[in-house]
Structure 1
Amino acid sequence: MSWRCLSRPAVAGATLAAGVTFAAPASAAVTYNPVNRTGFVAAADVRQAFGWTPAKLAARAGGVAFDHDFWTDDTYSVVCGKRTYPLVHHREFGRYELTDAVVRKRATTGYGATGITGFRLAGASFGISGTSVAPAVGQPCPGRVKGATIDALRLVSSATGWSLAARSGDVRRQLLKGGKGASQPQTSRS
């Protein structure tokens, strides 16, 4: 498995090359562009995700963070002996930590803000991604047959995906998810 750090200007090329599909938000107040990782998450969506009251959100808003996960999963048909099994290989995966700012409603009179309206997402501040080696003929069978090796395999499909999540402490809640699948048949034999 190989890991590499991604800086702010880095772009997940595989995610873009595979195509981007925009998912419907969990609430109409979440707007998010997964290509440039910008958008807006309303306070009501964060409160609903964590089960918080407006007062609890106000107290914890500074500790709320957002991240964008992405992945490419390949599904193979693997032959071990006389049996064929499906195998999902997590080929590429990663996470961007997003830069966010708490948006507050301004008071119409006097000084200061009157409450939190949401969080503005301003892109990735940093990220990490990895790839893994695909299954191959001669490798051990995927946990199904002890001591057996893969005799043949065929790539059935590939799917790319992404998700937007909010975190507070050790609790993480997914807000949106999207992706695209494509068929790319290939065969390998010994």
Structure 2
Amino acid sequence: MRKLTFAMNTSLDGYIAAPGEDLGWSVPSDELFEWWSDRVAATSLALYGRKMWETMSADWPTADEQPGATPAIIEFAGRWRDMPKMVFSSRAIPVDWNARLVTSDAVTEIARLKAEGGGPMDILGAALAAAAMRAGLIDEYILVTHPVLLGGGKPFFTSLDDWVHLNLVETRTFPDGVLLTRYETIR
């Protein structure tokens, strides 16, 4: 069975975006950016919600062609384009860059993907991850916590019907007081 991971930057008070979708608080250090890039390279399939897809596909397809693109940005952009992706949306939207659109029920499709076996999958996007959380499909949570309080915005976690018990399996500190915590779901 494939492993499904939800990994995002989060504020100390649990938000992945500030009000107005502001992400300016989560600019990564070089070391953290390298960690994210390595994660993209190791992901067999990325599952995107529509909004996260629109955010990522607005920049990364051509980020390596922009003036001043650093070697790290060039590497990430190539890895991002090469990574297989599925985009979940209830309406038809354009997808490209090794991605395919899925308009059927996300939870059913994610459960099918997990059961078919294969390499690790990442889920990206708050609404899509929330549906997978409520269905008990997420095997691992990675919180990359930045030392900032946002006071509101888009939460990392959704409301759940039942408790989800987790086991801490890794911690790592990055520059600027950023802390990575990785948890596995206890089943």
Please give the range of the TM-score, normalised by the shorter of the 2 chains: under 0.3
Provide the TM-score with structure 1 as the length reference: 0.21
**Bigger share in helix:** 2
Provide the TM-score with structure 2 as the length reference: 0.21
**Bigger share in strand:** 1
**Rg: which structure is higher?**
1
Higher relative contact order (CA 8 A, sep 6+): 2
